[in-house]
Amino acid sequence: LAKTTQPISMDSYEGQEVNITCSHNNIATNDYITWYQQFPSQGPRFIIQGYKTKVTNEVASLFIPADRKSSTLSLPRVSLSDTAVYYCLVVSYSSASKIIFGSGTRLSIRP
Amino acid sequence: DTAVSQTPKYLVTQMGNDKSIKCEQNLGHDTMYWYKQDSKKFLKIMFSYNNKELIINETVPNRFSPKSPDKAHLNLHINSLELGDSAVYFCASSQTWEGGPTDTQYFGPGTRLTVL
């Protein structure tokens, strides 16, 4: 299973765009890139998933370059409520039941 | 309606006791999981069940025994509790275990277990 590396923490301010980059150099052909968000005292919550290029939903965008060895989660115009831990995962299509959470990126948003 | 629910939310107990945590999902999913999140916030999968059958057991001590009476429930029983078992335990479910876009995992609110 591909291992992911992401910054331990990031700080930003309300209204800014935040980009969190994740490295997954050993990603395999069957692997999808998935991001989860975890607020304090809650379980992780799915944000977005992609295979290549760009994916956008109502919460975030996910940019994946052609080599797929990294990905960037983009949160537009963050607010205080976006303060959370963000996990980047690589999930294999054939064995999703064994997903591995890394240490995540602790994002702190300030007024 | 809560999609994935766990009880209890908090559990404080003495070393050596036996305790259970219950999990239920009303999403109609086939696959359920138990995760442990330690004090450093690392989230590690412990077990995965698909249609009541165990498909993953991640080198968890025998003191931990999951039980799935039906595919909507996955309970976790822990014997002879130890200090190191203190953590937050999350239950999750997904539509299948095959991966891809259909297998988003939905997590419960967690059970904070404290062993004294």
Q: Residue B20 is encoded by which pair of tokens?
A: 């259970």
Question: For residue B108, what pLDDT is reported?
Answer: 95
User: How far is the alpha carbon of B88 from chain A, nearest alpha carbon, in Å?
Assistant: 9
- Indicate the residue of A30, A44, A100 with minimum beta-carbon distance to B107: A44
d(CA A106, CA B2): 26
Domains of chain B: 4-98+109-115 (2.60.40.10)
pLDDT tens digit string along A46-71? 999 999 989 999 999 999 999 999 99
Question: For residue B12, what pLDDT is reported?
Answer: 97
Instruction: Judge whether residue B80 has pLDDT over 80.
Output: yes
Q: Residue A69 is encoded by which pair of tokens?
A: 């060895």
d(CA B17, CA B43): 24
Contact A97 B109 (CB under 8 A): no
User: How far is the alpha carbon of A20 from chain B, nearest alpha carbon, in Å?
Assistant: 19
Mean pLDDT (chain A) is 90
> Is residue A100 very low, low, confident or very high in pLDDT (cuts 50, 70, 90)?
confident
Neighbours of B96 (CB within 10 A): 15
Q: Which run of H or of E encompasses B53? A: strand B53-57
Question: For residue B98, what pLDDT is reported?
Answer: 66
Instruction: Judge whether residue A14 has pLDDT over 70.
Output: yes
Residue A61 near chain B (CB below 8 Å): no
Specify whether the backbone of B101 is left (phi greater than 0), alpha (psi in -120 to 50) or beta: alpha
Is the distance from CB of A102 to CB of A5 less than 8 angstroms?
A: yes
Question: For residue B20, what pLDDT is reported?
Answer: 97
Instruction: Judge whether residue B52 has pLDDT over 90.
Output: no
pLDDT tens digit string along B81-97? 999 999 999 999 988 77
**DSSP states of B6-52 as a string?**
EE-SEEEE-TT--EEEEEEE-S--SEEEEEEE-TT--EEEEEEEETT
User: How far is the alpha carbon of B41 from chain A, nearest alpha carbon, in Å?
Assistant: 7
Domains of chain A: 9-95 (2.60.40.10)
> Is residue A96 very low, low, confident or very high in pLDDT (cuts 50, 70, 90)?
very low
Instruction: Judge whether residue A16 has pLDDT over 90.
Output: yes
Q: Residue A20 is encoded by which pair of tokens?
A: 């969190």
Contact B101 A104 (CB under 8 A): no
